Structure 1
Amino acid sequence: MELFAVPDLPEIREGDDLAALIDDRVDLRPDDVVCVASTVVSKAEGRVYDYEAFPPGPRAREIADRLETISGDRKDPRFAQAVLEESTEVLIEAPFLLTATRFGHVGVNAGIDRSNVPGGDLLLLPERPSESAARIRSGIAADRVIVTDTCGRPFRHGQRGVAIGWSGLQASRDWRGETDRDGRELGVTVENVIDELAAAANLVAGEGDGGTPVVVVRDFEFGDHVGSDAHFREIDGDLVRQAIREWTHET
């Protein structure tokens, strides 16, 4: 398997044809997987906003005041309001905001970015990332697209690339029912393929001012496995989320 960044992409603006910009710069193959950072997808879809678009309500002001007390740094209640409006549930209000987005992703601050946002203050995640992936896929020569983001993970330090939208491939491959080298049947192993590809792509794309938000994965083979589009855990079976709901931060 080979990974390489798509070179020479310009700064993406609202209304840009992201698929055409990608397709013009690289000779894609049908079985390539094209991993596109959510930042450029959001910019093309007009998800750049100024703080003024989010006049804070009482809850946002309360959250910002509490976070400011904890951290000692000023917190803008307009940012808290943006997070609230982009979320279906706030799992943790302090010492940071951990929320669930409308499309099922759980992350800090609803994934709202304040880095590399020319022309605005805030960059919101795509509203429906899998639909974004499908639109990009329809305009390029490759048949598989993943929209990626970076976020932290429980029990681990730092961030990694994750998939928030996908089209043309299944999210997971299911090893259950197959056997290990000793002939024992696997009973629980389901491999999240799109997250693994997103993490690999992030190693190539990098962070900060790298300017390479699109990575092509070549010669990845899904293999002869049962596939599934299960990606975000169902709430009823998410024991971690249920435990977090009961947790409070003591100040």
Structure 2
Amino acid sequence: MDLFAVPDLPEIREGDDLAALIRDRVDLRPDDVVCVASTVVSKAEGRAFDLAEFPASPRAREIAAHLSDISGDEKDPRFAQAVLEESTELLMDAPFLLTETRFGHIGVNAGIDRSNVPDDDLLLLPKRPSESAERIRAELPADRVIVTDTCGRPFRHGQRGVAIGWAGMSPARDWRGEADRDGRELGVTVENVVDELAAAANLVAGEGDGGNPVVVVRDFEWGDHAESDAHFRDVEGDFVRQALRGWSFDA
């Protein structure tokens, strides 16, 4: 397969038609996968805010004070409030905030970005990224769209691209029941394709001020595999999350 960035996209503002901007710059094919950074989706959807719009609750002030004590740097309780409002569960409150967002993604600070926001303080993730992906897909010749973000992972250094929303495809292909090279039946292998494509797109998109927020994946073939709707783990089978619920940070 090939990957290439969509060139010459402008700074995205609230209300911009992302699909039209993409269509005007690249000839898409029906089987292309269009990977769109959550940053530009959020900007188009008006998800940029000032800190003043998040007056701090007592809980946010408590969290910020604790993090300030740990790090030695002053933490703004309004930022903690924004994280709380974007989350359904606070898995860790120290030495950083690890939360579950309202659409099921788990990440640091509810995925709130403080970079690449020229006119505001904060950029929140799209409210419902898969619905965002579907709206973009409906206006494109391409049949598949992935909304991507970058985040860290347990047990690994650094960040990589992940999918937080998708449309026109299942998130994973299911190898269970197929055979390995020795003829043994695979019993647990479910390949998270949208994450793999998001990570590949992130290599092309780049980071920082030279980044390109939209990448097209061309000639990706699903293959003769079953589909799976699994992406975010259910709490019942997420033993790391269950362990975190009983853990507390000890400085």
TM-score, normalization by structure 1? 0.99
1:220 shift after superposition = 0.3
Match of 1:67 in 2: 67
Q: Distance in 2 between matches of 1:44 and 1:2?
A: 27
Match of 2:238 in 1: 238
- Give the letter for the 1:92 counterpart: M
Q: Distance in 2 between matches of 1:89 and 1:168?
A: 29
Q: Distance in 1 between matches of 2:132 and 2:80?
A: 26
Q: Distance in 2 between matches of 1:179 and 1:57?
A: 55
1:211 shift after superposition = 3.7
Matches of residues 142-157 of structure 1 in structure 2 within 5 Å?
142-157=142-157
Displacement over 3 Å in runs of 4+: none
Match of 2:88 in 1: 88
Match of 2:18 in 1: 18
1:200-247, CA deviations, whole angstroms, 9 ceiling, x for partnerless residues?
000000111124100000000011100011100011111110001111
Equivalent residues, number:
251
1:88-136, CA deviations, whole angstroms, 9 ceiling, x for partnerless residues?
0000000000000000000000000000002100000000000000000
Q: Distance in 2 between matches of 1:11 and 1:211?
A: 12
Q: Distance in 2 between matches of 1:204 and 1:242?
A: 35
- Whether 1:198 aligns to 2:185 is no
Q: Distance in 2 between matches of 1:70 and 1:232?
A: 31
Match of 1:45 in 2: 45
- Give the letter for the 1:156 counterpart: R
1:178 shift after superposition = 0.4
- Whether 1:167 aligns to 2:167 is yes
Q: Distance in 1 between matches of 2:58 and 2:45?
A: 30
Matched residue SS, 1:209? helix
- Give the letter for the 1:229 counterpart: D
1:11-49, CA deviations, whole angstroms, 9 ceiling, x for partnerless residues?
000000000000110000000000000000000000000
With 40-49 and 173-182 compared, the bigger mean Cα shift is at 173-182
Q: Percent identity among equivalent residues?
A: 81
CA contact (8 A) 2:190 2:228 kept: no
- Whether 1:125 aligns to 2:122 is no
Match of 1:105 in 2: 105
Q: Which runs of 5+ in 1 are unaligned?
A: none
Q: Distance in 2 between matches of 1:245 and 1:23?
A: 45
1:182 shift after superposition = 1.2
With 229-238 and 120-129 compared, the bigger mean Cα shift is at 229-238
Q: Distance in 2 between matches of 1:153 and 1:74?
A: 26
1:135-163, CA deviations, whole angstroms, 9 ceiling, x for partnerless residues?
00011110000000000000000000000
Q: Distance in 1 between matches of 2:194 and 2:173?
A: 10
TM-score, normalization by structure 2? 0.99
Matches of residues 19-38 of structure 1 in structure 2 within 5 Å?
19-38=19-38
Q: Distance in 2 between matches of 1:89 and 1:183?
A: 43
Match of 1:138 in 2: 138
Give the superposed CA RMSD: 0.5
Q: Distance in 2 between matches of 1:102 and 1:156?
A: 25
Matched residue SS, 1:11? coil
